[in-house]
Amino acid sequence: MVTRIAASIMCADQLHIADELERLDAAGIDLLHCDVMDGKYVNNLAIGPEWLLAVKEATNIALDIHLATIDPLKYIEMFAKIKPEYISFHIEVCEDVPAVIQKIRSYHIKPAIALNPETPLEAILPYLNDVEMVLMMTVNPGFAGQAFQRSVLEKLRILRVTLADNAYAPLIEVDGNINATTIGEMSDCLPDIFVLGTSALFHKKDNKTYAERCVQIWSEVKR
20 membership: H or E segment, kind and range:
helix 17-26
List, for residues 125-169, the tens digit of each pLDDT value.
999 999 999 999 999 987 777 899 999 999 999 999 999 887 788
- What gap in Å lies between CA 70 and CA 72, rounded to an integer? 6
Q: What is the pLDDT, as a whole number, of residue 145?
A: 73
Decide: 82 and 53 in contact? Cβ < 8 Å: yes
Q: What is the pLDDT, as a whole number, of residue 142?
A: 79
Catalytically active residues, by annotation: 35, 175
pTM: 0.95
- Please list the rounded mean pLDDT of every run of 10 residues in the chain (223 residues): 88 96 97 96 94 96 97 96 97 96 98 97 96 96 84 95 87 95 90 95 93 88 72
- What gap in Å lies between CA 28 and CA 5, rounded to an integer? 8
Closest CA to 111 of 139, 78, 80: 80
Q: Which amino acid is at 53?
A: L
Sign of the Cα torsion 89, 95, 98, 103 reads negative
Angle at the Cα of 37 from the Cα atoms of 44 and 160, rounded to 5 degrees: 115
Q: Where are the domains of the chain?
A: 4-193
Backbone angles phi, psi at 24, to 5 degrees: -65, -40
Q: What is the pLDDT, as a whole number, of residue 143?
A: 75
Domain covering 4-193, topology: TIM Barrel (3.20.20)
Decide: 198 and 175 in contact? Cβ < 8 Å: no
63 membership: H or E segment, kind and range:
strand 62-68
Q: What is the pLDDT, as a whole number, of residue 14?
A: 95
